[in-house]
Structure 1
Amino acid sequence: MKELIRTNDPVLISFLLHRLREEGIEPFEMDGHMSFMEGSLGILPRRIMVVDEDHESARKILDEVQGSGNG
């Protein structure tokens, strides 16, 4: 598995997970429980992981998702 992104932005995480699944890529969210344990203050970032074979495609989707907020 490779890390795609590490962020504490819940909106970005939610939309990214949706888009990845829409394209047939099954992401794995790490550190979500740690974020919950720290009181949902948003201090600890969550990591989105994908299998190695999907990393390049997932990276393109991430770029698209991050760019969609700028237009």
Structure 2
Amino acid sequence: MLVELGRYDRNLANIIVGRLASDGIEAHAFDGGSSIADGSWLLIPVRVMIDEDDLDCARQIIDPA
């Protein structure tokens, strides 16, 4: 089952998806195209979704502190 890792601005969400992919964790950016027609797409956070089993590992990768 997919779970939300976090909500980020559009660019950061895509960077996180790529970073996780480089470590073998499949991730997806949801809502990236929302409301693009009315010009508010920069204001809508993008959800990064991953498999529930990868959640702890993904959190360690994006915030190792």
**TM-score normalised by length of structure 1:** 0.74
Identity of aligned residues (%): 34
Q: Is the 8 A contact 2:20 2:58 kept in 1?
A: yes
What's the RMSD between the two structures over aligned residues?
Answer: 2.0
Choose between structure 1 and 2: higher strand proportion: 2
Q: Deviations over 1:14-68 (max 9, x none)?
A: 321111000101101110120534426511100000010011111111104xx7x
Give the total of aligned pairs.
64
After superposing on structure 2, the runs of 4+ consecutive aligned residues of structure 1 that deviate more than 2 Å are 35-41
Matches within 5 A, 1:29-48: 29-34=29-34, 36-39=36-39, 41-48=41-48
| Paired letter, 1:44 | I
Unaligned runs of 5+ in 1: none
Choose between structure 1 and 2: higher helix proportion: 1
Unaligned runs of 5+ in 2: none
